Structure 1
Amino acid sequence: MDDISNLINFNELIPGLPSDLGLECLTRLPHSAHRLALRVCTHWRSLLQSDAFFRHRKKTGRTHKVTCLVQAREQQQPHQKPTGCVQPCYGITVFDPEAMAWDRVDPVPDYPFGLPLFCQVASCDGSLVLMGGWDPATYEPLTAVFVYDFRTSEWRRGRDMPEKRSFFAIGSGMGRVYVAGGHDENKNALATAWAYDPRGDEWALLGRMGRERDECEGVVVGGEFWVVSGYGTERQGMFDGSVEVLDLGSGQWRVVEGVWEAGRCPRSCVGIGKDGKVVNWRGLDPGLRVGVCGVRVGSSFVLTGSEYEGAPHGFYLMEMEQGQNRNLRKITVPDGFSGFVQSGCCVEI
């Protein structure tokens, strides 16, 4: 698209400095200062919100990675269901493991009091993509897609998912978000898969997987989208040990057997550890037995979970060094950020 030089050559970014030095100064601004910097002038706003500036920051190593978590919000009124059941409200928490800083993303305008239940998130080119889930008031499955741009700090509505599906696998790579499996509104397990382009706001149908895979988990490994485990319609709850692998370049699927422990649910607890092998974060530590979720952020993993049902929710960091897993380090969480984590992803901003 536009080159970075086209955005800096016609105006001084910083009075008295050559344009290239002004650009380097703005490139070094921490992302936490961008919201204020956008107010300085229209030229700064145009630059900081451009694709070219994001690419320049990435090329010069000035971006950094944060964890976006779909987390139960504390000290909020929970949803009251028609049945009388109480359902916690969820929002997007942002954790920066480098600065050890916690923050929240503004609510989705369509859901100011809590995200759709069991919605899925993935990242793409500095944006957070949220899709699917159930309406928090009616439990109706949704096809809605929302995209949060960290450059503008705003949500926008994307094109709806082509099919209703729940508990599907999701992952991102090569500028696309990939979804596969799950089940439809009639609880039929699915083998279909789609790719979403957030920039063009378009969906493309992919080839079918070889098997139906409900309650599967997605992870991108290099140039491949792995759909881990799941089960067919007639095998409710009988999780498969195989992985369906999509080559993002060729669009071809293949099945790899014996990758996952058969009978174990993979939801939110699949990781890629040393030697590129699939690992199960559940049970890695006594505090990671129930409600486990893991997100890779650069060379680190952010892990959450509890020791037993109803126990306090703990947060851990684990770093990778020369391909080897290091010991877990429990981290202190500020008030209001210790709620249950449903799922999460890494976003480069």
Structure 2
Amino acid sequence: MSSNMETTEIGAEDSCQIELAHLPLICGLPDDIALFCLARVPRKYHALLKCVSKRWRELVCSKEWHSYRQKHNLDETWIYALCRDKFEQLCCYVLDPNASRKSWKRIQDLPPSSLKRKGMGFEVLGKEVYLLGGCGWVEDATDEVYCYDAAVNAWNKAAPLSTARCYFASEVLNDKIYAVGGLGSNSSDPRSWDTYDVHTNTWKSQSDANVVPDIEDSIALDGKIYIRCGSSAVSSHVYAVVYEPSRGTWQHADADMASGWRGPAVVVEGTLYVLDQSSGTRLMMWQGDRKEWTAVGRLSPLLTRPPCRLVAIGKSIFVIGKGLSTVVLNVGNARNAGGVMVSSSVTKSTSDDDVICCKCVAI
């Protein structure tokens, strides 16, 4: 009798779940029309949508939702900043640049094992943010990878790197994550790089003599990856290497371009911009056709707090410095007032955190 009752209860639960799965997203509307309506709700309200029902929560967290908003130009880009606080622990913040009152908000529950690590990679692929590798004072370089789903607002462990790495370059090119060079364990090859394929959830390792372990910065430009290498103690000479995916090899990059790459860089509509912080804060632009650097303008020292990092949305460059001080300037409409670029700023954070890296996620 008891067994029959349990079977009946289980059957009832399954039946209920099947029934819920077939309920319309919005009563009286076909699901495709409901999706048409719901997908137009601004991203800042997506957390509320997930509270309405299980079906709405699954939809908002799904790849279908992400793809639909992207296809119909409904996706909104938010900025994610990886920082280090006064206790030398990692922390992560997010900024909605479309909000009427722009302010940075802290993301909770970073993976505990990564909090004290340094030299980690920070990269974005689709709607996921990846924390890669890293090391500590008493910990060798690790191959661990953590993934934060911005739609679900949760961290999970992901497929590990092929090679343990610390203080390396990471970039996304052709929907793949590249982890290049850096320092590793004694058995690691410092002149190697790993490539992550999200479709197979696997990393592939390769090596090249032109890959150097001492890396300062990296960018993806014109379908290639550029890495700025550290200058030696006896020379201020700056050089860079470039990866050509069609050949699968690394070569030395244009010397003129490398010579002016003396700060954090960002690419805006195929043009490379660099923030020179050696004397004040000056934005430089690389003109590849003329092979020369041009000064766009300098930023007000009252607004920026170096060292800064750069990230771009459309034609707007966000200059994010210590304490998440944020200056926004539009390079498509760059104007100067007394030699200083016209810009706007975001409400300052109450923290004094150091900004390590910034990336964008569009959903």
Q: TM-score range by the shorter chain?
A: 0.7 to 0.9
| Structure 1 pair 252–11 and aligned structure 2 pair: CA distance change class (3 A) | farther
Kindly indicate whether residue 353 of structure 2 is the aligned counterpart of residue 339 of structure 1.
Answer: yes
| Structure 1 pair 254–347 and aligned structure 2 pair: CA distance change class (3 A) | same
| Structure 1 pair 346–236 and aligned structure 2 pair: CA distance change class (3 A) | farther
Counterpart of 1:107?
109
Does structure 2 retain, via aligned residues, the 8 Å contact 1:68–1:92? yes
Q: What RMSD over aligned residues (CA atoms) do the two structures have, in Å? A: 3.2
Cα distance in structure 2, aligned partners of 1:279 and 1:175: 24
Amino acid at match of 1:130: L
Kindly indicate whether residue 17 of structure 2 is the aligned counterpart of residue 22 of structure 1.
Answer: no
Cα distance in structure 2, aligned partners of 1:138 and 1:212: 24
| Structure 1 pair 184–18 and aligned structure 2 pair: CA distance change class (3 A) | closer
Does structure 2 retain, via aligned residues, the 8 Å contact 1:170–1:179? yes
Superposed CA deviations along residues 308-345 of structure 1, whole A, max 9, x for unmatched, are xxxx77321122217x6873525243443552212221
Counterpart of 1:294?
310
Kindly indicate whether residue 61 of structure 2 is the aligned counterpart of residue 49 of structure 1.
Answer: yes
Counterpart of 1:193?
193
Cα distance in structure 2, aligned partners of 1:188 and 1:46: 41
Q: 2:240 aligns with which of 240, 243, 248?
A: 243
Superposed CA deviations along residues 157-214 of structure 1, whole A, max 9, x for unmatched, are 0122222222211111322111112223469993211112345321012452524241
Give TM-score, length-normalised by structure 1: 0.78
Superposed CA deviations along residues 9-28 of structure 1, whole A, max 9, x for unmatched, are 96522112233321112111
Superposed CA deviations along residues 201-250 of structure 1, whole A, max 9, x for unmatched, are 2101245252424123121124222212335xxx5685653332223455
Does structure 1 retain, via aligned residues, the 8 Å contact 2:222–2:270? no
Amino acid at match of 1:23: L
Cα distance in structure 1, aligned partners of 2:247 and 2:27: 50
Give TM-score, length-normalised by structure 2: 0.75
Counterpart of 2:252?
255
| Structure 1 pair 275–18 and aligned structure 2 pair: CA distance change class (3 A) | closer
Counterpart of 2:91?
91
Which structure: greater helix fraction? 2
Structure 1, gaps ≥5 residues long: 1-8, 79-87, 307-311
Structure 2, gaps ≥5 residues long: 1-20, 283-298
Q: 1:303 aligns with which of 319, 324, 327?
A: 319
Q: In structure 2, the residue corresponding to 1:107 is in which secondary structure? A: coil
Does structure 1 retain, via aligned residues, the 8 Å contact 2:118–2:166? no
Amino acid at match of 2:169: A
Cα distance in structure 2, aligned partners of 1:204 and 1:273: 29
Amino acid at match of 1:315: T
Cα distance in structure 2, aligned partners of 1:198 and 1:127: 11
Does structure 2 retain, via aligned residues, the 8 Å contact 1:11–1:19? no
Cα distance in structure 2, aligned partners of 1:179 and 1:237: 28
Counterpart of 2:294?
none
Does structure 2 retain, via aligned residues, the 8 Å contact 1:260–1:278? no
Equivalent pairs counted in the alignment come to 315
Q: In structure 2, the residue corresponding to 1:254 is in which secondary structure? A: strand
Amino acid at match of 2:29: L
Deviation at 1:134, TM superposition (A): 2.3
Cα distance in structure 1, aligned partners of 2:242 and 2:354: 30
Kindly indicate whether residue 330 of structure 2 is the aligned counterpart of residue 319 of structure 1.
Answer: yes
Counterpart of 1:119?
120
Aligned residue runs from structure 1 range 205-220, under 5 A? 205-208=205-208, 210-220=210-220
Counterpart of 1:84?
none
Counterpart of 1:143?
143
Deviation at 1:132, TM superposition (A): 1.8
Deviation at 1:52, TM superposition (A): 2.2
Does structure 1 retain, via aligned residues, the 8 Å contact 2:103–2:346? no
Counterpart of 2:287?
none
Kindly indicate whether residue 35 of structure 2 is the aligned counterpart of residue 38 of structure 1.
Answer: no
